[in-house]
């Protein structure tokens, strides 16, 4: 029987093996492992790729989100307990970053079709304490940034993009990371631009925000042994920066491969019980607003479908089985009724999708879905 792993990181990175090893050797031989040329160059290249003026490396995506919020507090643009609007169905990291910054997350129901922040629901959640709206480009699909930015402008809110799943996604010629006042990225190995370890970055158009983020992640210091603020240690190291530079050069190509697989699934999977993800407008293979970090179907018999696919050798995952407001870690924090969010978490299933999947593997997933006994 054909095996289809959910994600084959070994195969993904094997495509870059020679270049990765070459860059690693150069870092090893350089004798410089933190805050060097590889990081400086990666930051320049990543900012240019996103169309943002600045990028600052961080240790991971959670820190990148937190550093952006903390920088705004330091700049006096936010005060403790200010409210931050977040989609309720996000990965818990989004919400943990808000809480760690001493701010108040306000959960809003997503658009049931796209699973992204609903601009109207966000507008309805605004109170006099609201200062930030934090859209998440979930599964690799850009949130409705034109409308979210209009709402934010009308209410003078800061916009922080959680772009951890959407490197390279683009709407109206503007990429994820270039819409908000700042954006946070993760380079966790399984993300679309994945390091060989942890990594993250903040992008912003504001030079002062970039400088504060950089200092906050480096013990509050712009200059060695001069500490302006109570910072932390959250840096992207030279090894990861060097590896990311290699993979960044082929990121658009890998997004194209993801779109091609998504287009095959969208065209091939036909089953009354399996709801395909909304593809937006136009041909999915050409729609650059989606980089298909995940291909998420919905099915009321999700657990049975998952078992069925497992028996056909197809590994699937659930993103995410339990919504943040139902996690023990956040118990008592939210008094909310979120039927759309609960419905999403109870029915979603992520199918295998990674650049390098063979046509046979793609066909096998399609025919196994279509043969799901109902
Ligand atoms: C992965 C992820 C994060 C956190 O990134 P890490 O690098 O794992 O800390 C934050 N938000 C979303 C939406 C993510 O998918």
Average pLDDT over residues 134-146: 97
pLDDT of residue 281: 67
- Residue 91: CB within 6 Å of ligand 1? yes
pLDDT of residue 374: 82
Each residue of 96-106: pLDDT tens digit? Answer: 999 999 999 99
pLDDT of residue 279: 80
Q: Which residues pair with 175 in a beta bridge?
A: 170
d(CA 297, CA 292): 12
Average pLDDT over residues 318-346: 95
Average pLDDT over residues 268-278: 97
- State in Å: Cα 61 to ligand 1 middle: 5
Residue nearest to atom 5 of ligand 1 (CA): 61
Each residue of 153-165: pLDDT tens digit? Answer: 999 999 999 999 9
Q: How many angstroms separate the Cα of 326 from the Cα of each of 88, 228, 271, 344, 349? A: 10, 39, 31, 13, 19
d(CA 347, CA 345): 6
pLDDT of residue 154: 98
First to last CA, the chain: 22
- Residue 237: CB within 6 Å of ligand 1? no
pLDDT of residue 189: 98
Return all residues near 164 (Cβ < 8 A) that are at least 6 apart: 61, 91, 93, 136, 184, 185, 186, 188, 191, 200
Look at residue 280 and tell me whether its pLDDT is greater than 80. Answer: no
What are the E-state strand segments in 102-145?
104-108, 130-133
pLDDT of residue 301: 97
Looking up tokens 């631009």, which residue turns up?
193
Do residues 58 and 242 make contact, with C-beta atoms less than 8 angstroms apart? no
CA-wise closest residue to 147 among 132, 135, 138? 135
- Residue 204: CB within 6 Å of ligand 1? no
Do residues 117 and 87 make contact, with C-beta atoms less than 8 angstroms apart? yes
Q: How many angstroms separate the Cα of 4 from the Cα of each of 309, 357, 364? A: 10, 8, 8
pLDDT of residue 284: 80
- State in Å: Cα 188 to ligand 1 middle: 7
- Residue 265: CB within 6 Å of ligand 1? no
pTM: 0.98
Average pLDDT over residues 322-349: 95
- Residue 87: CB within 6 Å of ligand 1? no
pLDDT of residue 325: 96
The mean predicted confidence, pLDDT, of the chain is: 97
Each residue of 13-50: pLDDT tens digit? Answer: 999 999 999 999 999 999 999 999 999 999 999 999 99
CA geometry: angle 317, 320, 324, nearest 5 deg: 160
The continuous run of DSSP H or E covering 342 comes out as: helix 339-347
Classify residue 199 by its DSSP letter.
-
Return all residues near 114 (Cβ < 8 A) that are at least 6 apart: 141, 143, 144, 278, 280
d(CA 155, CA 132): 10
Looking up tokens 């970039």, which residue turns up?
210
Atom of ligand 1 minimally distant from the CA of 198: 7
- Residue 66: CB within 6 Å of ligand 1? no
Residue nearest to atom 4 of ligand 1 (CA): 61
At 87, the pLDDT band (50, 70, 90 cuts) reads: very high
- Residue 234: CB within 6 Å of ligand 1? no
Q: Which residues pair with 275 in a beta bridge?
A: 298
Pairing relationship of beta strands 174-175 and 158-162 according to DSSP bridges: unpaired
């Amino acid at each position: 029987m054909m095996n289809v792993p959910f994600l084959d990181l070994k195969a993904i990175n094997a495509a870059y093996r020679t270049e990765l090893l070459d860059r690693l050797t150069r870092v090893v031989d350089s004798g410089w492992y933190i805050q060097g040329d590889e990081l400086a160059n990666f930051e320049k290249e990543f900012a240019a790729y996103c169309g943002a003026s600045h990028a600052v490396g961080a240790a991971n995506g959670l820190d990148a989100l937190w550093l952006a919020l903390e920088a705004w507090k330091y700049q006096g643009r936010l005060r403790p307990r200010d409210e931050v609007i977040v989609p309720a169905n996000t990965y818990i990291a989004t919400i943990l970053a808000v809480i760690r910054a001493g701010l108040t997350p306000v959960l809003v129901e997503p658009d049931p079709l796209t699973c992204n922040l609903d601009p109207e629901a966000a507008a309805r959640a605004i109170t006099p304490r609201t200062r930030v709206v934090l859209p998440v480009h979930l599964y690799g699909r850009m949130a409705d940034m034109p409308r979210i930015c209009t709402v934010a402008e009308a209410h003078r809110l800061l916009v922080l993009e959680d772009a951890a799943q959407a490197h390279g996604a683009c709407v109206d010629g503007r990429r994820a990371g270039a819409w908000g006042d700042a954006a946070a990225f993760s380079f966790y190995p399984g993300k679309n631009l994945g390091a060989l370890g942890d990594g993250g970055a903040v992008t912003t158009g504001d030079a002062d925000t970039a400088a504060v983020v950089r200092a906050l992640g480096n013990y509050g210091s712009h200059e060695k042994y001069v500490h302006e603020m109570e910072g932390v240690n959250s840096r992207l190291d030279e090894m990861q920066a060097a590896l990311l530079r290699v993979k960044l050069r082929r990121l658009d190509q890998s997004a194209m491969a993801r779109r091609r697989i998504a287009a095959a699934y969208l065209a091939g999977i036909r089953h009354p019980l399996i709801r395909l993800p909304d593809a937006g407008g136009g041909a999915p293979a050409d729609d650059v607003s989606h980089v298909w970090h995940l291909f998420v179907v919905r099915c009321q018999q999700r657990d049975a479908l998952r078992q069925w696919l497992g028996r056909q050798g197809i590994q699937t995952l659930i993103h995410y089985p339990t919504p943040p407001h139902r996690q023990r870690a956040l118990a008592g924090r939210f008094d909310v009724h979120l039927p759309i969010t609960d419905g999403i978490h109870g029915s979603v299933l992520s199918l295998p999708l990674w650049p390098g999947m063979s046509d046979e593997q793609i066909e096998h997933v399609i025919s196994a879905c279509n043969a799901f006994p109902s």
